[in-house]
Amino acid sequence: MRLLSAFALCFLTAAVSIAQGQAIADGAIEARNKAIAMRVFDEIFNQGKFQVADEIYAPDFQNHGLHRSVDLKVDQDAVHAEKKAFPDLRVSVEQMVAEGDKVAVLWTFQGTHTGSGYEGLPATGTRVEVRGMTIWRIVDGRIVEEWSSFSETGAYLAMLSHLKWWLLFVTLLVLAMVIAIERVVWMAARKVFAFRRLT
């Protein structure tokens, strides 16, 4: 009986040791994944070191948007455009959680819209702040998938409010002209088709 008890004690001790070793290994992987996620914010967004994207992201990376997924080139082109439009861009991490191969981050984007090229808007000088969340899946030390969610509505409204009023007036005038031309063309088309029915 003592032999059976000793065997059971050894088995339980080994099982606990293996489980603790697995927890430590998982903890190390999660810590490494968090460090990789921080590099995205620190090096790419804040420092503009775009070349490190090839070290951080897997070649087959996919950013899963609401309506479509994009590859690494399209994703990084958007980052370049943001940094160009907001040269003082800073992304700060408010919270970060890692579990298994996933890292979730709550972040805040802050910058001044002094550059051009952001969604076609001219520089407005507007200070913008956007809060969002990103979830990354990291495999073998590289980001393979991303899901992000944020609202740009407030940022767009702030930037549009700084546009010159004459620009808004010209836009509305052009819109009114387009509508007027469309209606004239529509009325002419109706007359032509009505004439053809009569003959």
Average pLDDT over residues 110-126: 81
One-letter amino acid at 131 equals: R
**Domain map of the chain by residue range?**
2-163, 164-199
Compare 131 and 173 and report the one with higher pLDDT.
Answer: 131
Q: Tens digit of pLDDT for each residue in 40-86?
A: 999 999 999 999 999 999 999 999 998 899 999 999 999 999 999 99
Predicted confidence at residue 12, as pLDDT, reads: 46
CA dist 130 and 150 (Å) reads 7
Predicted confidence at residue 173, as pLDDT, reads: 84
Mean confidence (pLDDT) of the chain = 83
- The residues near 149 (Cβ < 8 Å, ≥ 6 apart) are 132, 133, 134
Average pLDDT over residues 91-96: 98
The distance of Cα 58 from the centroid of its chain, to the nearest Å, equals: 16
pTM given for the model? 0.67
> 73: which DSSP letter?
H
**Band of pLDDT at residue 4, cut at 50, 70 and 90:** very low
CA dist 47 and 107 (Å) reads 16
Please choose, from the candidates 91, 54, 46, 104, the residue with its C-alpha nearest in 3D space to the C-alpha of residue 75: 54
| pLDDT of residue 1 exceeding 60 | no
Q: Tens digit of pLDDT for each residue in 125-162?
A: 888 898 999 999 999 999 999 999 988 776 666 666 66
CA dist 15 and 21 (Å) reads 10
Predicted confidence at residue 16, as pLDDT, reads: 45
Average pLDDT over residues 16-37: 72
User: What b/e readout covers 31-57, taking b as 16+ CB neighbours within 10 angstroms?
Assistant: eebbebbebbbebbbeeeeeeebeebb
Predicted confidence at residue 197, as pLDDT, reads: 61
The SS3 call for residue 186 is helix
- The residues near 162 (Cβ < 8 Å, ≥ 6 apart) are 113, 124, 125, 126
| Residue 190 structure tokens | 């109706």
Average pLDDT over residues 90-112: 96
User: What b/e readout covers 73-93, taking b as 16+ CB neighbours within 10 angstroms?
Assistant: eebbeebeebbebbeebebeb
Predicted confidence at residue 66, as pLDDT, reads: 86
| pLDDT of residue 28 exceeding 50 | yes
CATH of range 2-163; options 3.30.70.1290, 3.90.120.10, 3.10.450.50, 1.20.120.1200: 3.10.450.50
Strands (E), the chain: 57-64, 69-70, 90-99, 102-112, 127-139, 142-150
Tell whether the torsion through CA atoms of 73, 147, 67 and 60 is positive or negative. positive
